[in-house]
Amino acid sequence: MLENPTNLSREARYGVTRKKHITVTQEGCSQIERWAAEQGLNFSTAIESLALMAIGTDGANTLPALTSSLLERIVHRQFNRFAHLLSQAAIAAESASWKADYLMLQLIRQEAKADPTRFVQNMAVSTDPQDLVASRIRKMRDEVAAAAQKAALHSYKKRISELQVLTAEMTIEEADE
């Protein structure tokens, strides 16, 4: 029986595969390409799978050969989309951080201009639960943070749903490009 290392990655299989040049009729080539497209495979994987089926290789050994290329491309495509989504999140976080820093600096500048001698004391917020003004300030901060998180989650859920629509529409050929 033919040993086919279908459980290995494509890179690992390159060490045990050999490049062959074959001649195929135009009709045969068209049929193989059509079958490969239907299965979501590249031409080489399709021709190997068809050849293995034709010589009677057990279906359990042929099926992984059929699906391995497809699965590798799907995982690769989804990884790239996930990496893109993470980079968008990192950019948004950095942007929000920069804006918060800018606003904080503007607030400090305003307070320093309004009362140069006491602006440090004016900016301090006590952690004492008995200080009602400081407690209201902390509560307001928590409410703003919760609202910002809710808005960000809504925005990202919308982006993820748009990404899922794009994934469903994208064909295997587009993923290979």
Where does the pLDDT of residue 145 fall: very low under 50, low under 70, confident under 90, or very high at 90 and above? confident
Q: Are 62 and 12 in contact (CB under 8 A)?
A: no
Burial call 34-55: b when 16+ CB within 10 Å, e when fewer:
eebeebbbbeebbbbbbebeee
Q: What pLDDT sits at residue 53? A: 75
Whether 2 has a pLDDT exceeding 50, the answer reads no
Q: What pLDDT sits at residue 64? A: 55
Measure the CA dihedral 158/164/168/170, to 10°.
Answer: 90
Give the number of other CB atoms < 10 A from CB of residue 149.
Answer: 10
d(CA 49, CA 61): 10
Whether 78 has a pLDDT exceeding 90, the answer reads no
Q: Where are the domains of the chain?
A: 10-71, 77-176
Q: Report the amino acid identity of residue 49.
A: S
Q: What pLDDT sits at residue 162? A: 63
Q: What pLDDT sits at residue 76? A: 75
Whether 68 has a pLDDT exceeding 70, the answer reads no
- The C-alpha angle 6, 171, 163, rounded to 5 degrees, equals 105
Q: Are 70 and 172 in contact (CB under 8 A)?
A: yes
Helices (H), 115-131: 119-123
pTM exceeds cut of 0.75: no
Token pair of 96 as six digits: 């929000």
